[in-house]
Structure 1
Amino acid sequence: MDNEKIIGQTKSVGFQIGVRRTFPISQEQAWALITTTEGVRTWLGEDTSVIFEPGYKYHSKTGTGEIRIVKPLEQLRLTWQKEEWSKPSTVQIRILPKERNKTTISFHQEHLSDQTVREEMKGHWESVLDLIKERVQNS
């Protein structure tokens, strides 16, 4: 019974979660939905201002972190640590172009401490994708 695998648990990075959704928008529009001031508020919380440059340390109402990788129109990688967490997690956002003006936005988070935090963050990222969907439909 000890060998039973728990969903989202890895051997090396604790717990992880990944969610993605494809939208009928261009890669440029998807990048803007993630990186504009309004976009950042959607996934990192209100009153967050971030400069997307490696090494930039940010603070938000939901936690702190550091920008690690910025590949415009393709990828963001950063650390994110909520106040109640003992160590930071790693968040990777990918913008994946699909056929004919469709783009997938993918959120992947690892180094989560346990299954409860994983479920919390799964809900968070799904809510973020729902908000992005609303924004796309209303634009």
Structure 2
Amino acid sequence: MDKIGLTKDAGWQYGIRRTVDLPLEEVWDYLFSTNGFKIWADQVQTDFSTFKKYSHIRTKWKMKDWDGAASLQLRVLSNSRTKKTTIALHIDQIKNELHRDQAKKYWTGVLAKIIEKLRSA
């Protein structure tokens, strides 16, 4: 039986998407504002390997008790038809199933906070 999140050659992975009824630029600007950055950038290496404004970033991330880092990709996607924006987060190279479960719990909570703040702004 296949295990959810286990890849053939890149370890474990996890992805989550959340959509808000706001323009892409507003969502991106909030994510990289002082208040937004505090919500999601804890334990994230801020020397991003990729930084494309209003599109995506790539970097490393790990929980405090992990002995190795996973790869994190954060994308902000606009839907011109619905005028909504999706925040898409993908983490791969996660060491094991326990770390995947920890990442899932952590990032589900982080995105819930971000969406709550964006909707109340």
Same fold (TM over 0.5): yes
**Alpha-carbon spacing, 1:9–1:18, altered in 2? closer, same or farther (3 Å):** same
C-alpha distance in 2, partners of 1:72/1:29? Answer: 12
Matches within 5 A, 1:6-85: 6-45=3-42, 62=43, 64=45, 66-85=47-66
RMSD between aligned alpha carbons?
1.6
Q: 1:112 to 1:30 in 2, by over 3 A?
A: same
Shift of 1:82: 3.5
**Which residue number corresponds to residue 68 of structure 2?**
87
Cα distance change on mapping 1:71 and 1:64 into 2, 3 Å: closer
What SS does structure 1 have at the residue aligned with 2:48? strand
- 1:14–1:111: 8 Å Cα contact kept in structure 2? yes
Q: How many positions carry a matched residue from both structures? A: 120
Structure 1 residues 97 and 133, CA, compared in 2 at 3 Å: closer, same or farther? same
1:92 to 1:38, Cα distance in 2 relative to 1, 3 A: same
Q: Which residue of 2 aligns with 1:130?
A: 112
- Per the alignment, residue 94 of structure 2 pairs with 112
Query: How far apart, CA to CA, are the structure 1 residues paired with 2:63 and 2:46?
Result: 9
TM-score (norm 2): 0.89
Structure 2 unmatched ranges of 5 or more:
none
Asked whether the equivalents of residues 45 and 59 of structure 2 are also in contact (C-alpha less than 8 Å), the reply is no
- Gaps in structure 1 of 5+ consecutive residues: 46-61
Q: Are the structure 2 counterparts of residues 76 and 7 from structure 1 closer, same or farther at C-alpha, using a change threshold of 3 Å?
A: same
Point out 4+ residue stretches in structure 1 off by more than 3 angstroms. Answer: 62-66
Distance 2:78 2:100 in 1: 27
Larger Rg: 1
Q: Which residue of 2 aligns with 1:48?
A: none
> Per-residue deviation at 1:63?
6.1
Paired with 2:49 and 2:12, the residues of 1 have a C-alpha distance of 20
Tell me, what secondary structure is at the counterpart of 2:22? coil
More contact order relative to length (CA 8 Å, sep ≥ 6): 2
SS at match of 1:122: helix
Q: CA deviation at 1:101?
A: 2.4
